[in-house]
Amino acid sequence: MYDCIIVGAGPSGMMCAITSGQTNKKTLLIEKNLELGKKMKLSGGTRCNITNLKAVDLFIKNLPTKNGRFLFSALNNFSPLNIYHYFENLGIKLKTENDNRVFPVSNKASDFITALGNELTKNHVEVLTNTTVLEVEKNQHFKIITSAGIYYTQKLVIATGGLSYPHTGSTGFGLEIAKQFNHHITELFPTESPLISHDEVIISKLLQGLSFPNITLSLLQDGKVIKKITDDLIITHFGLSGPCALKLSQFVYHKLKENKAVAIQIDFIPQINSESLLEILKINRNEDNLLKYLTKILPKRLADYFYHKLSSLSNQQILLLNNLIKKFTIKIHEVKPIQVAFVTGGGVALKEINPKTMESKLVPGLYFIGEVLDIHGYTGGYNMTIALATGYTAGFTTLL
């Protein structure tokens, strides 16, 4: 009989197991993969953005959801700053990049996984890898039927993730367990997912591979701006990717689901307003000067593309050029599916979870943490922080 069994050895599950072990509970961590932290290893382009160093209130305010206040207790238990110091104290050198994003100096996600693995050992957590949970039953205690045998526990923590990155083990099993115990699952949808366009500019691949730091994307519906994000962008062979596009994807998804026609408007030079840019373009109207100026402010391939769209250097054509730079519009036809999204939107309904403990309000002794919950953030360290904070909170409260 275990005091606590955690299913899923991602960041939330490992942190939960460590904190459970620190309180001398007999703890078992079960992982279906051969290795721990498989999805974590791939996050942040294998660099792993471990947290975002915003104060708790600002962190919550920056989440793309109305559910953010649910995290208040968990984030106060294990805040972004706490996470920073935690890994620093484990000997990992950290660095902070733009927008408060924290990475290992080594740029290796494996540093975090190794450190967490060592902490599991140090705190006497039993770890079963390459083990699939087949069924869960509950009478007086939880009965966990696995491919390696049957285990019993007083407390069960589900840390199996959502539906994104299924090859890492996120198959929705935890959501099925939640349903089994009469929990409601909110709509599941892709977030942090690339945008697909069938516009000629994308299909032609003329701009494929171009990347832009700190540009502004606006989501348009019926010509009106309904959401605006400033971050980095990549134009791909299928559409738009990079942090800016990924952050807009959930809003695009919901509009498309409503059968709304949507487009993305790109401001390639947000630091210069439209009126000022128009004046600069007019000053540089001379043929040689204009192309030279464009290649100074834009990648050469994009500068050439815009320049060759002009039929003359008249006022009307210079205005067209100004609009191409400040309001370049691409129709979006699809969002890449949840299986390739970085994060799953939706999950176990938060009204059925105690935010101070992560325990189910319906089933005593059953806990849900991390991405299986209906709470998520943008890329930039938010989701990793949510995983670690909810895992930490559940780990210390599983015997309260």
What pLDDT digit, counting tens, does each position of 326-358 carry? 999 999 999 999 888 888 999 999 999 999 999
Amino acid at position 208, single letter = Q
Structure confidence at residue 341 (pLDDT) = 85
DSSP state of 102: E
249 & 126 share domain: no
Collapsing DSSP to helix, strand or coil, 372 comes out as helix
Amino acid at position 284, single letter = N
Structure confidence at residue 168 (pLDDT) = 57
Of residues 223 and 370, which shows the higher confidence score? 370
Structure confidence at residue 172 (pLDDT) = 82
169 & 280 share domain: no
What pLDDT digit, counting tens, does each position of 81-120 carry? 999 999 999 999 999 998 899 999 999 999 999 999 999 9
381 close to 51: Cβ distance less than 8 angstroms: yes
95 & 243 share domain: no
Task: Say yes or no to pLDDT of 399 above 60.
Answer: no
Taking residue 41's Cβ as centre, other Cβ atoms within 10 Å add up to 17
Q: Residue 267 is encoded by which pair of tokens?
A: 């401001």
What band does 400 get if pLDDT is binned at 50, 70 and 90? low
Q: What is the mean pLDDT of residues 375-391?
A: 95
Torsion of CA 310, 315, 320, 324, to 10 degrees: 90
Given 283, 316, 335, which residue is the final one in a domain?
A: 335
95 & 184 share domain: yes
Torsion of CA 103, 104, 106, 107, to 10 degrees: -30
170 & 211 share domain: no
Structure confidence at residue 287 (pLDDT) = 75
Q: What is the mean pLDDT of residues 318-330?
A: 97
Q: What is the 3-state secondary structure (H, E, C) of 247-306?
A: HHHHHHHHHHHCCCCEEEEEECCCCCCHHHHHHHHHHCCCHHHHHHHHHHHCCHHHHHHH
138 & 272 share domain: no
Torsion of CA 180, 183, 186, 191, to 10 degrees: -70
CA–CA distance, 374 with 351 (Å, rounded to integer): 10
Task: Say yes or no to pLDDT of 393 above 70.
Answer: yes
What pLDDT digit, counting tens, does each position of 8-29 carry? 999 999 999 999 999 888 999 9
Task: Say yes or no to pLDDT of 66 above 70.
Answer: yes
201 & 289 share domain: yes
Count of domains forming the chain: 2
Neighbour-count burial of 227, counting CB atoms closer than 10 A to its CB (0-12 exposed, 13-18 middle, 19+ buried): middle
What pLDDT digit, counting tens, does each position of 254-308 carry? 999 998 889 999 999 999 999 999 999 999 988 788 999 999 999 999 999 999 9
Average pLDDT in the chain: 93
Beta strands in the chain (DSSP E): 2-7, 27-30, 51-52, 94-97, 101-104, 126-128, 133-138, 142-146, 149-158, 189-191, 195-196, 211-221, 224-235, 239-241, 262-267, 328-332, 334-335, 343-345, 366-368
Task: Give the residues across from 156 on adjacent strands.
Answer: 5, 366
214 & 298 share domain: yes
77 & 209 share domain: no
245 close to 378: Cβ distance less than 8 angstroms: no
C-alpha distance from residue 339 to each of 94, 105, 165, 310, 354 (Å): 30, 30, 6, 41, 29
158 & 235 share domain: no
Task: Give the residues across from 145 on adjacent strands.
Answer: 135, 150
Range of the domain at 211: 195-335
CATH number at residue 35: 3.50.50.60
Given 311, 335, 359, which residue is the final one in a domain?
A: 335
pTM of the model: 0.91
Structure confidence at residue 166 (pLDDT) = 60
78 & 169 share domain: yes
Structure confidence at residue 1 (pLDDT) = 94
DSSP state of 63: S
Of residues 165 and 310, which shows the higher confidence score? 310
CA–CA distance, 13 with 146 (Å, rounded to integer): 17
- Largest separation between any pair of C-alpha atoms in the chain: 83
Given 290, 316, 335, which residue is the final one in a domain?
A: 335
Q: What is the mean pLDDT of residues 46-72?
A: 94
84 & 161 share domain: yes
CA–CA distance, 68 with 82 (Å, rounded to integer): 19
Q: Residue 133 is encoded by which pair of tokens?
A: 């949970």
Task: Give the residues across from 335 on adjacent strands.
Answer: 195
Task: Say yes or no to pLDDT of 170 above 70.
Answer: no
